[in-house]
Structure 1
Amino acid sequence: MNTASDLTQEEWHRRTDAALIWLRHCWGATDGKGFSHSYSPFSGWSKAYPETSGYLIDTLFDYARLRSERSLTQLALQCTDWLVSVQFPNGAYPALLAGNKKPSVFNTAMILFGLTRAFEENDDISKRSVLLSSLQHAVTWLINQLEPDGSWKKHAYVEGFTPNYYAYAVWAMLRANSVLNNPDIEERMRQAIGYYANGILGNGAVSDAGFFPGKPAFTHTMGYTFNGFLESAVLLSDENLIEKKILTGEKFIAIMCANRYRTAGRYDAQWRGDYSFLCLTGNCQLSVFCSRLWEITGREEFRQTARELLNEVVKYQKLSGPKCVRGALPGSYPFWGPYMRFRYPNWGVKFFLDAMFKLCPSGDINS
């Protein structure tokens, strides 16, 4: 069975092809109204999930460009149109699934990635105007939810808890500001990332990086946290924060080496891991993190770790069976593990494609 370290060009394309085809089924499952949250063999396809539909747009554009495939561009733009249509009048987007009336800070921020990329890729002036308006509306709502200390405490997954994976929301805001070019937004996000950076510990870990206060974090939310800090630091030219994230990468490599390059499904703030399962989505996100550290530092150990993190994942991608699972990744291995139990989430495939793209951005596995 192939792994990320010995993927042939043919195998790399076979696996990314299968993942992209599965995403099309995810889209079709909602009759073209967002990407279905996930597929379960027990309950079938879920409703659309606006949050992850938003950041899937980035991935679709990356592969559209790589493969010169217009249909992927069209899919990304159709998803953008749908997201604009479901935005709340106040600029926010819903928590959880389509149809929910409760606004969410984090989910709204994630959709900024898609709106920003669609604006950049769109050559239709009228569409760009609509996208810019939607983007400004969402960003304004998010700015208005900030506390004086730079944190977001309202409209959270757990009421009153502001987890440090909100660093990813800061990155989304800075990414949107690459289009909006508003110095006030940059200043507010500099304050926000400073607030969340208080959770970075001396051992390179981050406290409260999970869904619940004081609890171990799935590697999924750790991936949000680490990538959010790193990318925000790059956009803000914050060398001190970049160095802290390099330390995080170094500590994570040491933990992996000590455990024979096995990854836990979740870790606490002392890097103590739960090795009873793999959070496959998180592995992919941490692979992206290590690839970015390699790009920034040129240190080969980061690239090798990115490959090793994918080594644990590729063998669990479904390449056979009915179309509702073919190309997908389960939330956990084993399938009954605690992260997205018995489900194939759409964002797992998104981050799998991102990790594969980072290791092979030209589509040439030998480059």
Structure 2
Amino acid sequence: MIFKRRSFQSIRELVKDKAGFGINKTFDNDSHLQAAAEWILRAQEATEDKGVSRMYSLLKGWGPSYPETTGYIIPTLIEYGKKTNNDKFSKRALEMADWEIEIQLESGAVMAGTIDANPVAPTIFNTGQNLFGWIDAYKESNDERYLNAAVKAVKWMKEAQDEEGCWAKFHSPFAKFKVNTYNIRSAWGMCKVFNVTQERELLSAVEKNMNWVLTQQNENGWFDNNCLNDNKNPLTHTIGYTIEGILGIGLALNEPSYILAAQKTAEELLKVQQHDGSLPGRFNEKWKPVESWICLTGLAQIAICWWLLYDYTGNDNFKKGAAKANAFLKSTQDLENRNPGIRGGIKGSFPVNGGYGKYQYLNWAAKFFMDSLMLEDKHIENDY
């Protein structure tokens, strides 16, 4: 079904409604996970295809489908379906994977922006994020179509890679800079494909990008060329992408030097975590916050890395930081709102009028929130 758009006559009316400005009552993890998962399903139902709506805007309602994030939402829904023993979620995830095949460009690339973008621009980052969905869809279904789509995509990515290992070609038209450190998360997607195909040229491309990315890391763990629009003050979100990619590859290849590079950044972020569990939305090269609002997506991503590093190192500080981050994230999710675009969703920023995803509930924020809560649940289960 298509939900009717809700609009506000003015910002004053929005503030009066208080949607997204306050702290909410929290519940057990299962309740928060279910609410986020159901929000994602509604975001899919709100579109004219099988992709997931980019966001619910408090000002404009549901947006068009977003190929990039639909791609990496797929593994989250598959995992949640297994956790809850409910195949509804894996079926929806496979619908998303089918849609991603339908819109894959002839070159193998995935387009930038939402599905209505014109002109269509093939983009490295978005292509890399779809690899996660296609590989997990293949593992879930054993359907070769998904693996073939992933192989076609990585071939295009490999051919587009610069000699030094970065990708200056096919950067997002929505990013200010041509070269992006956070593309290491796309290299992690390539690593996922390598783990299935064992194609050595893919591993070489992954390692080339990693070697370049590590030249961008400063002594204190901060990365150059690591933001969509302000490399001097990168978003917590793009910092999260970068350490996710480095750590994901390090764990997949069992390479301690990569894991230590991610750990260096993660430890610095622990030092600047606020008492309530949050992290400011941007940091400068000295890890000084330059914004007071919180990027909820980035906080969830970094919490994921803290959980994984706790598993790897046994350092209890990572576990404590991740648990505090999740508690804060839960408090920003409204489980009781009657508006289906708000209930269970995760805002771009807290408060909702912050500088990232202003007045919007983002599909990828809900995805990373779910991933972090599911990691926490695994630790709770292991404690008993």
Structure 2 length as normaliser, TM-score? 0.88
Select which of 292, 298, 322 maps to 1:282.
Answer: 298
Within 5 A, what are the aligned runs for 1:117-128?
Answer: 117-123=136-142, 128=143
Q: Which runs of 5+ in 1 are unaligned?
A: none
| 1:122-149 Cα deviation digits (max 9, x unpaired) | 04xxxx2211221111111111110111
1:260 CA displacement: 7.3
Q: 1:109 aligns with which of 118, 128, 133?
A: 128
**Partner in structure 2 of residue 22 of structure 1:** 39
Specify the SS of the correspondent of 1:336.
coil
Deviation of 1:91 after TM superposition, in Å, equals 0.5
Name structure 2 gaps, 5 residues minimum: 1-22
Question: 1:340 and 1:213, CA in 2 relative to 1: closer, same or farther beyond 3 A?
Answer: closer
Give deviations 1:246-292, integer Å, cap 9, x for gaps.
Answer: 222222222227x7755211112210113410111111101001001
**Alpha-carbon separation, structure 2, partners of 1:304 and 1:250:** 12
CA–CA distance in 2 between the matches of 1:318 and 1:159? Answer: 33
Larger displacement relative to structure 2 (289-298 or 273-282): 273-282
Within 2, Cα distance between the matches of 1:358 and 1:340? 25
Q: CA deviation at 1:77?
A: 0.7
Q: In the comparison of the two structures, how many residue pairs are matched?
A: 357
Letter in 2 for 1:121: E
Residues 18-55 of structure 1 show CA distances to partners (whole Å, capped at 9, x for unaligned) of: 11111111010014420000011211111000010000
For 2:321 and 2:177, the matched residues in 1 are separated by 36
Match of 1:292 in 2: 308
Q: Is the 8 A contact 1:163 1:213 kept in 2?
A: no
Matching of residue 190 in structure 1 with residue 207 in structure 2: yes
The one-letter amino acid of 2:289's match is G
Partner of 2:122, secondary structure, is coil
Deviation for aligned residue 1:160: 5.5
Provide the C-alpha distance between the structure 1 equivalents of 2:144 and 2:309, rounded to a whole number of angstroms: 35
Tell me the CA shift for residue 366 of structure 1: 5.9
- CA distance in 1 between counterparts of 2:382 and 2:214 reads 36
Cα deviation, residue 363, structure 1: 7.9
- Per the alignment, residue 129 of structure 1 pairs with 144
Determine the C-alpha separation between the residues in 1 that align with 2:177 and 2:263: 30
Alignment of 1:1-367 (within 5 A): 11-100=28-117, 101-123=120-142, 128-157=143-172, 158=175, 161-212=178-229, 214-256=231-273, 262-321=278-337, 322-361=339-378, 364=381, 367=384
Equivalent position amino acid for 1:140 in 2: K
Checking the alignment, whether the CA contact within 8 Å between 2:176 and 2:229 is kept in structure 1 is no
AA at the equivalent of 1:298: G
Change (3 A) 1:261 1:115: closer
The 1:175–1:343 alpha-carbon spacing in structure 2 relative to 1, beyond 3 Å, is same
Letter in 2 for 1:19: A
Measure the CA separation in 2 of the matches of 1:278 and 1:306: 15
Partner of 2:56, secondary structure, is strand
8 Å CA contact 1:357, 1:363 repeated in 2:
no
Contact 2:138/2:146, CA 8 A, preserved across alignment: yes
Q: So what's the TM-score if we normalise by structure 1? A: 0.92
**Which 10-residue stretch deviates more, 163-172 or 108-117?**
163-172
The 1:292–1:216 alpha-carbon spacing in structure 2 relative to 1, beyond 3 Å, is: same
Verify the 8 A CA contact 1:66 1:362 in the aligned structure 2: no
- Contact 2:24-2:333 at 8 Å conserved across structures: no
The separation in 1 between residues aligned to 2:273 and 2:342, in whole angstroms, is: 30
Instruction: Return the alpha-carbon distance in structure 2 between the equivalents of residues 50 and 174 of structure 1.
Output: 20
When residues 364 and 17 of structure 1 are mapped into structure 2, their CA distance, relative to the original with a 3 A threshold, is: farther
Measure the CA separation in 2 of the matches of 1:260 and 1:135: 40
Aligned with 1:274: secondary structure? coil
